[in-house]
Amino acid sequence: MPRTHSLAWAELKFGIIVIFAVTMAGMLIFAVGGGGGMPWQNYALKTRFENVAGLMAGSPVRVAGVQVGTVDRVILSPTGVEVWFDVKNDFRPLVTDRSVAVLGTISLLGEGAVDISAGIGGTPVPEWGYVRSGMAEGTIAQVATEGTASLNQAKQLVADIRAGRGTIGKLFTDESVYQQFDGLVRAAERVARSVNEGKGTMGKLANDPKAYNELEASLANLNAITASVRKGEGSLGQLLHDPAFARNLNQTTSNIETMTARLNRGEGTAGKLLNDEALYQRLDSMTARLDTVLQQLNDGQGTAGQLLHDKQLYENMNGTVSEMRALIAEIKKDPKKYLNVKVSIF
C-alpha cells in the first residue's frame, strides 16, 4: 500500500513537470516565432485597407522597419478590409495619430506586412483604436493605381478630342478652325519667304550687308556716347560725374523749394497775391473799374470817348494844333514882333 501511494505521487509530479515544460515551450515558441512577445506585453490596434494584397494572420507588423508585432486577424467588411494586429507596449509612443499604416512586403515572393511610420510627437493611438492607412510609395498597387488614373485621363482626352472639345478637338473636327490654322501657317511661310528674299526691314537686315553695317555703326556710336558720358564729357557727363554741377543743381533746387515755401506762407508780393484775399479782391475791383472805363470809351462817353469817336472834335483839335505850330514858327522868325517887353524904372 505505501508503495502504490509513492508511485502515484511520482506520476503526478512527472505530469506536472511535463505540463509546465510543454506550456513554457509553447510560450517560448509563440514569443520567438510570432515576434509579438507575451500577450500581456502587447496591446491591440486596427487599421483599414481597400485591398490587403494577400496579407494574412501572423504577418509581421513593423514600425520604421523594425518588427514590433504581428497581424491577429484580417476581416472583410462592407467598408473594406479590417486588419487587427498587436503591438508591443514599448512602442506605444511611436504609434500615434501622426502615424500612417501601409502595406509592405518582406520578401521577393510578395509576403505581406504592415508598415507603420513613426509618429513622433503625436498622441498615442489608444488600444483597439484605428491607425490611419495610406498607400506605400513605389509599390505595385500604387503604380497600378496611378497607371489606371493616367489611362482614364488619356481616354477622357481622346474622347474630348473626338467630341471636338478644346483647341485640339476643334482643330481635328472644325473645318473653319483648320482653315484658319492653315492660313496662319501659310502667312508664316510668306513672311519667312519675304525675309529670305530680303524684302522689308527684317529681310534687309538679314540679307543686306549695308543695313547690317549701318546698324553696327549706330551701335558703335551709341557705345562711344555711353563711354563719353561715363568719362564725364559733355553736359550729360558732367551732370553725372561733376560734383560742383551736382551741388549747383542741388542748390538751385533748394532755392526753388525755399521760394515755394515763402509763397505758400504768403511772404512777398507774389505770396500775398496767392494767399491774401483782400489783395485779390482789390485787384478784381480795379479790373472791374478798368473794364467800365474801357466800355465808356468804346461807347463814346466823356471827353476821351468823344475824342475817339467824334470826327469833328478830332478835326478841330487837329486845326488848333496846326495853328499853334504856325504861331510858334512866326515867333521864332521875329521874336521882337511878338515879345516886346518894356521896363520902366521909377
Tens digits of per-residue pLDDT, 139-171?
555 555 666 777 778 887 777 777 777 777 776
Residue given cell 506520476 in the structure block: 11
**CA 132 to mean position of chain CA atoms:** 37
**What is the model's pLDDT at position 99?**
92
Which three cell numbers mark 182?
A: 492653315
Residue 227: the pLDDT is 80
- For residue 133, the 8-state DSSP code is B
Distance between start and end Cα atoms, the chain: 214
CA of 96: how far to CAs of 65, 74, 123, 132, in Å? Answer: 16, 22, 5, 9
DSSP labels, 76-106: EETTEEEEEEEEEGGGGGGSBTT--EEEEES
Using 50 as the pLDDT threshold, list the residues of the chain that sit under it: 1, 32-35, 346
pTM score: 0.35
Q: How far, CA to CA in Å, does 23 sit from each of 18, 36, 43, 185, 252?
A: 9, 17, 22, 88, 108
- The C-alpha cell at 58 is 501572423
Q: How far apart are CA 229 and CA 241, in angstroms?
A: 8
pLDDT computed for residue 171 by the predictor: 67
Domain ranges of the chain: 1-34, 40-136, 144-173, 175-206, 280-317
Non-local CB neighbours of 106 within 8 Å, separated by 6+ positions: 60, 112, 113
CATH class of the 40-136 domain in this structure: mainly beta
Task: Quote the radius of gyration of the chain (alpha carbons, Å).
Answer: 58
Residue 148 vs residues 7, 144, 176, 213, 243: alpha-carbon distances, Å: 75, 6, 36, 61, 73
340, three cell numbers:
516886346
Give 135-172 as a 3 state SS string: CCCCCHHHHHHHHHHHHHHHHHHHHHHHCCCHHHHHHH
Angle between helices 268-275 and 277-299 in degrees, nearest 10 = 80
pLDDT at residue number 202: 72
% residues pLDDT > 70 (the chain): 77
Give the pLDDT score at 4.
Answer: 55
